[in-house]
Amino acid sequence: MKSLFLGIDVSTTGSKALLVDEQGTVVASAVSEHSISTPKPLWSEQDPQEWWDASQKSIRQVIKEAGIKGDDIKGIGLTGQMHGLVMMDAAGKVLRPAILWNDQRTGEECEEITRMVGFEKLLALCGNKALTGFTAPKILWVRKHEPEIYAKTAHILLPKDYVRLQLTGDYAVDKADGSGMILFDLKKRTWSKEIIDILEIPESWLPKSFEGSEVTGVVTAKAAELTGLKAGTPVVGGGGDQAAQAVGVGAVTPGIVALTLGTSGVVFATTPSPLIEPQGRLHAFCHSVPGAWHFMGVMLSAAGSLRWYRDTLAPGMNYDDLLAPAADIPAGSEGLLFLPYLTGERTPHPDPLARGAFVGLTIRHTKAHMTRSVIEGVSFGLRDSMELIKNAGLGKIKQVRVSGGGARSPLWRQMLSDVMNSELVTVNTTEGAAFGAALLAGVGVGTWKSVEESCNATIKTLDKTTANPAAVKTYEKVYQQYIALYPALKPSFTGLSEL
């Protein structure tokens, strides 16, 4: 039996277990679902016990599917949804439902953090603005609104690290996920005593931090009995979902950018040093790769914009049939632009009031024009993040590795290549964050000497798309019109939100 590595992805919708061998072949995969609670408007919560129950189920399922024993698994890597808050007492009992990354209740606490720390100091230390998605504002919200819970708290964990605790008995976090709490000193790759002291959060609550491929503990006898794993199996740090996803497509060195074209869109770029975007418009976190960092731009409605368009104006139509006529429309959709801010926006405009729009409609425009303008608008929005990354000091981008549902469209891949004037490739791995977590486990137990070596051994580029010079020239002009629309329409967005 070859050595096998287990990646566990504790996402918002389910816990996924993925078995990978030394060649990068996926041996077995299973997902068990979670439920989400929204007890009040803007709230989003989950019961951490569901994560562990679902993880046990998925682990047992892949072991059964692969026809192996627990001892065939040499290492385990963890990944999952970032920024969630799990509060526990001294005995390890969960005190309240976890507050998730997409919870929006903490607007006042974000303002409070910015006021207490200072915008410039916060940016210099942790590399990010205080946003509602992050963990630190959630801690302050509990202190203000649930003081009895706050008073009992002895430990704070992120979602995947609650599963780690159940597996190993250890309170630990990887540096990529930890830096997403905005309590981290980005340059020092550890907790920022200065921020923690200013916010008056007890340092003893915070778990020890580890690099992504560093062993944090081993599977306990109790966890082995519940999961079918072997007691003593090493568990490595892993990474937040986007950092592990980047490992899973091989975006682990500067110049190789990962572009995820799912419901939301993510542009992820490894940086060799802790670079910070001067206005905080990009997220700047530690990478799962030891000694590396990354920039990340997030677009809230990427392929989600196309899904909305299809469901609203062409219900029941498959995407191939919808997109086919758009291929015959010239680049720029003959003067029709689409703003993809259907659920607000995060990068480069952190504005929950931003709205979607078609601009430039005339009687000559057809459904095919509108279809093309939607995917062009999303492509321009992703270029916004790419421009910020280049201008913040990353330097030359050699290759963009694209994944996600939207990447299956050859038309959309060509368009992205033209809009960004960059080579675009797909890769053989489609399992994303769980695959990256499994590779990190392989590095941690010594199968590969480095994360880069693990990627080179298992990840291959497939389809290559190069930019069309004529389309690049056209899109450069259209993009300039696109970036002028948000500032022009922002007052209208604000006014419309009040109606």
Q: Can you give the residue range of the structural domain that contains 13?
A: 4-237
Span 461-482, pLDDT tens digits: 999 999 999 999 999 999 999 9
CATH of the domain at 44: 3.30.420.40
Amino acid at 402: V
**225 shares its domain with 255:** no
SS3 per residue for the chain: CCCEEEEEEECCCEEEEEEEECCCCEEEEEEEECCCECCCCCCCEECHHHHHHHHHHHHHHHHHHHCCCHHHEEEEEEEECCCCEEEECCCCCECCCEECCCCCCCHHHHHHHHHHHCHHHHHHHHCCCCCCCCHHHHHHHHHHHCHHHHHHCCEEECHHHHHHHHHHCCCEEEHHHHHCCCCEECCCCEECHHHHHHHCCCHHHCCEEECCCCEEEECCHHHHHHHCCCCCCEEECCEEHHHHHHHHHCCCCCCEEEEEECCCEEEEEEECCCCCCCCCCCEEEECCCCCCEEEEEEECCCHHHHHHHHHHHCCCCCHHHHHHHHHHCCCCHHHCEEECCECEECCCCCECCCCCEEECCCCCCCHHHHHHHHHHHHHHHHHHHHHHHHHHHHCCCCEEEEECHHHHCHHHHHHHHHHHCCCEEEECCCCCHHHHHHHHHHHHCCCCCCHHHHHHHHCCEEEEECCCHHHHHHHHHHHHHHHHHHHHHHHHHHHHHCC
Cβ neighbours for 96, distance < 8 A, ≥ 6 positions apart: 87, 142, 146, 149
| Residue 158: inside a domain | yes
| Residue 364: inside a domain | yes
| Residue 244: inside a domain | no
Span 116-152, pLDDT tens digits: 999 999 999 999 999 998 999 999 999 999 999 999 9
Average pLDDT over every residue of 384-406: 90
In the listed set 237, 270, 290, which residue is the last one of a domain according to the structure? 237
**84 shares its domain with 156:** yes
CA distance 82 to 100: 8
**230 shares its domain with 255:** no
**23 shares its domain with 107:** yes
In the listed set 237, 258, 293, which residue is the last one of a domain according to the structure? 237
| Residue 245: inside a domain | no
Is residue 395 over pLDDT 70? yes
| Residue 242: inside a domain | no
Q: Are the CB atoms for 343 and 300 separated by under 8 Å? A: yes
Span 59-115, pLDDT tens digits: 999 999 999 999 999 999 999 999 999 999 999 999 999 999 989 899 999 999 999
**193 shares its domain with 52:** yes
**108 shares its domain with 254:** no
CA distance 384 to 296: 12
CA distance 435 to 258: 15
Strands 73-80, 239-240: pairing kind: parallel
pLDDT at 1: 62
Span 254-267, pLDDT tens digits: 999 999 998 899 99
**465 shares its domain with 320:** yes
Amino acid at 264: S
| Residue 425: inside a domain | yes
In the listed set 188, 215, 237, which residue is the last one of a domain according to the structure? 237
**464 shares its domain with 377:** yes
pLDDT at 17: 98
Q: Residues, the chain, total?
A: 499
* Number of domains observed in the structure of the chain: 2
pLDDT at 397: 86
| Residue 224: inside a domain | yes
pLDDT at 24: 94
CA distance 368 to 328: 8
**478 shares its domain with 360:** yes
pLDDT at 393: 82
pTM here? 0.93
Mean pLDDT, the chain, integer: 96
**39 shares its domain with 147:** yes
pLDDT at 350: 87
Identify which of 124, 135, 395 has the alpha carbon closest to the alpha carbon of residue 280: 124
**50 shares its domain with 134:** yes
**232 shares its domain with 263:** no
Span 142-186, pLDDT tens digits: 999 999 999 999 999 999 999 999 999 999 999 999 999 999 999
Residues marked active site are found at: 241
Token duo for residue 281: 């418009």
Span 330-373, pLDDT tens digits: 999 999 999 999 988 989 998 888 999 999 999 999 999 999 99
Span 297-335, pLDDT tens digits: 999 999 999 999 999 999 999 999 999 999 999 999 999
CA distance 244 to 70: 23
pLDDT at 314: 95
pLDDT at 205: 98
Q: Are the CB atoms for 166 and 113 separated by under 8 Å? A: no
pLDDT at 50: 98
pLDDT at 134: 95
